[in-house]
Structure 1
């Protein structure tokens, strides 16, 4: 019976978000309250669980998410992304223009929230398409595959960061493993798959034409790369340092402190303010304006994560999570396949990768300690499942269709297939990696 109640709650969440078009945060709260009542929880205990769940979840994540949005917006608005793309195209040459855009998407996509990255990077694709005469879809899929993978797989993006907390994983190791899986996923969904897309000659809408900054107004290549990649460098360095240093040494303690997500993102933002803003004589008022806009951009995602935290806490406080764990373990499914499958089903039903990942975590998190699976790989498998087959209920699907001026059918044959390749490759990579870690 408890399992049926949880399934009914998830179905209700899908109906409220997709059919009723209700705000996702409100939907999470309504579903949490109704599920608590159905599980015969005390009324006051239900509201206490909701408040505790929201507080616990956002307490450790909100700073990372907000700082990540600030850094990403600064990288894009300052022209650093434009510099990285131009430098890579010069380095790799016109023959490998797709690879240049793909690598740019990966570098810039790490700190840049997905929807913001889409809007800010797509005009760059159109500029390159007009310069080279190559189809915009052919050039765009590799960059957008990179943005999608970083959004689903890698901290400090909101969903992977939240999943790290839910599964008690290491952010540094998740990032390292995630990059190992991201490379083949991006290559297969990008340059390899897009070889079949040269026939899409659709002319993008002029409404989304790029506004390029003059060369003398954008930062240099080294500052641009360093600003965008500093979170990755710090997390990777501290994760490796902890493997080499003695556990009780001063160096080990410093590595733990520097590897804390809050410290990583704080240092990255301060570095970005200086390198991409103040060092280039950008007024502090303008820099702060960019950061204020970034906070507005992620306000909705913060509420969604808080709502998922409420649902998770209710599952724990009602003890139904223990029942679900026992039921799942009796099915003898590999935990990585289970997490991927649940996330994929919710993604196809509800459209949002973030909601799919966080809802799945609420269901399968207790399985991690019982099954003995690597928690970092659980983050990646869940993240990969949350990217599965984007279609008409996903905002990204419609953004791609309108920006690239495609029909719904052609959007499914390009965008939806790309997302599916990314998702399946992530699962296969996580299963393969589980044989060694």
Structure 2
């Protein structure tokens, strides 16, 4: 019966979110209450589980989400995102424009949500397409693929970071393993999809009235060094911390120092403080103006934070009600890789729910007992869930409609491009996780 209760809870989330259009935060809390009551949890215990789940999920994650959002907005408002993209294009040339936009998307996508980074980069995509007469999709697809890849594999992006937190995995090792998969997989898809015959036949025009995000003049832009420094400092610090974790003994003092400075929270906070100077006072922006960017960045994050917190509540009710132990015992004898099972659960929820954030948090709650009992690296189990949650983007996904509208595509064309590339990304990501599992104990 416990599995039936989980299935009913997921069905309830589907009904609430799709036909009734209730947002993910409310749907997940209702589902948590629903499962708790079905399992016979007393009301006070159920509420304690929900409160504990929200608090446990958001304890350090809320700082990561907040600092990451602020860094992204400070970069955008200072023109750093534009500087990174235009410099890469200038240095690499039009012949390598796809590589340039892919690299820019990787750099910006690590701390920005897909939708935010896409809106920032799309005006540059339009400008390049106009000036070079290249097919719009030739430039846009690598950009979109790069952003989807960071969403799938690279903490401190909020999706992977939330699952890392839920599983108790290492943020640094997840980033390192994610980069090993993301670089080849993202490059392959970004360079292959624009060359596919069915894509080459499409040549959409730039939509009128879209992409009016400010294009900075050259003299208004910060330097490339300042821009790239702010973008990469958190990745470098977290990466060094992960390397120390692997190669240095636990008693090493440098490792202890990097465990602090390389934690996602401290790395992002230090980067944010650095951005106040490099992208603020150094380029003539007052601290008041920079603080305004920080304040405006947090408002769009409110619902994301609530959804992630509600996902933590749903997970905790599954644990406290005994369903997690039941799932663990049930799946122990299954003749299927826990990695594949985790991926399938996340992919099915992604197809059903649309929102990658809601899908990944719901999947994390269901997969947690499987991950803990599997004996497999929790970092790899994290990546199995996150790459499953990016697959099969379609009409229930807000990112699908943004991709369609900005690139002036029909629904059918958007399905042919975005649904197929996100599915390929998810499947190849799964293959990458399975390969890494052969070498990582």
Question: What's the TM-score once normalised by structure 1's chain length?
Answer: 0.98
Question: Partner of 1:423 in structure 2?
Answer: 426
1:344-370 CA distance string (max 9 Å, x none): 000011101111111111111122232
Return the alpha-carbon distance in structure 2 between the equivalents of residues 423 and 117 of structure 1. 20
Q: Does 1:40 align with 2:43?
A: no
Cα displacement (A) at 1:431? 0.5
Structure 2 SS opposite 1:423: helix
1:198 corresponding residue in structure 2: 200
1:297 Cα deviation after fit: 1.6
Q: Which residue of 1 aligns with 2:262?
A: 259
Report the counterpart of residue 357 of structure 2 in structure 1: 354
Match of 2:405 in 1: 402
Task: Give the superposition deviation at 1:87.
Answer: 1.3
Deviations 1:118-169 (A, max 9, x none): 2221121111111111111221111111111111211111121111112221
Match of 1:327 in 2: 330
Q: Could you tell me which residue of structure 1 aligns to residue 16 of structure 2?
A: 16
Q: Does 1:118 align with 2:118?
A: yes
Give how far 1:225 is off: 0.7
- Check conservation: 2:119, 2:211, Cα contact below 8 A: no
Q: Partner residue of 1:70?
A: 70
**Structure 2: distance between partners of 1:354 and 1:329:** 28
Q: 2: distance between equivalents of 1:244 and 1:3?
A: 42
Deviations 1:87-127 (A, max 9, x none): 11122111111111111111111111222112221121111
Task: State the superposition RMSD in angstroms.
Answer: 1.2
Instruction: Report the Cα distance in structure 2 between the residues aligned to 1:74 and 1:113, rounded to whole angstroms.
Output: 14
What's the CA shift string for 1:43-90, capped at 9, x where partnerless? Answer: 111111111111111112101011111111222221111111111112
Greater Cα offset, 189-198 or 399-408: 189-198
Aligned mates of 2:123, 2:407 — CA distance in 1: 10
Is 1:389 equivalent to 2:392 in the alignment?
yes
Question: Could you tell me whether the CA contact under 8 Å between 1:181 and 1:426 is conserved in 2?
Answer: yes
Structure 1 residue ranges, 4+ long, deviating more than 6 angstroms after superposition: none
Q: CA deviation at 1:317?
A: 0.8
Shift of 1:266: 0.5
Taking the aligned partners of 2:330 and 2:64, their CA distance within structure 1 comes to: 34
CA–CA separation in structure 2 for the residues paired with 1:390 and 1:33: 29
Question: In the TM superposition, what whole-angstrom CA distance separates every residue of 1:317-342 from its partner, at most 9, and x where no partner exists?
Answer: 11110001111222221111011100
Deviation at 1:241, TM superposition (A): 2.4
Aligned length: 437
Verify the 8 A CA contact 1:277 1:284 in the aligned structure 2: yes
Please report how far the alpha carbon of residue 249 of structure 1 lies from its aligned counterpart in structure 2 after TM superposition: 3.1
Partner of 2:233: 230
Q: Does 1:364 align with 2:367?
A: yes
Cα offsets for 1:257-294 (capped at 9, x unmatched): 11222111111111112111121110112111111111
Q: Conserved in 2, the CA contact under 8 Å of 1:160 and 1:383?
A: yes
Deviation of 1:246 after TM superposition, in Å, equals 3.3
Q: Higher mean Cα deviation, 247-256 or 265-274?
A: 247-256
Given that 1:172 and 1:238 are in contact with CA atoms closer than 8 Å, whether structure 2 keeps it comes out as yes
TM-score after normalising by structure 2? 0.97
Q: Which runs of 5+ in 2 are unaligned?
A: none
Give yes or no for contact 1:141–1:418 (8 Å, CA) kept in 2: no
Aligned mates of 1:88, 1:119 — CA distance in 2:
18
